[in-house]
Amino acid sequence: MDILEDFQWHSSISLDKNVVAKKKKVKNIKASSKVIAGFMRVGADGDYLIHKATKALWKFSEDGSHIEPVFEEDILVDEDLK
């Protein structure tokens, strides 16, 4: 019997993908055109972005030089940004 079978995770990031693999979590990143290409912009000139693969909600920093997750559980890992 697996003791984790009925356990409910409270994060959008799965256990096997990040905790077991110990991948580096990304909490902010420079807003380069290569990085932005992995996101969809909410509105034509909005500050919010949705990551195309994970649907994580991110936003531009106040100075526009970086992007960061809106919610703590929407952090990404290095692999998500490649």
CB atoms < 10 A from the CB of 26, how many? Answer: 18
Q: For the residues 22-34, what does the mean pLDDT come to?
A: 81
Residue 52's pLDDT is what? 93
pTM higher than the cut 0.85: no
What tokens does 71 get? Answer: 């919610």
Residue 37's pLDDT is what? 92
Evaluate whether 52 touches 58 at the Cβ level (below 8 Å): no
Burial class of residue 36 (count of CB atoms within 10 Å of its CB; 0-12, 13-18, 19+)? middle
Cα 72 from Cα 68, distance rounded (Å): 10
Residue 44's pLDDT is what? 79
pLDDT tens digits along 30-67: 999 998 999 999 987 889 999 999 899 999 999 999 99
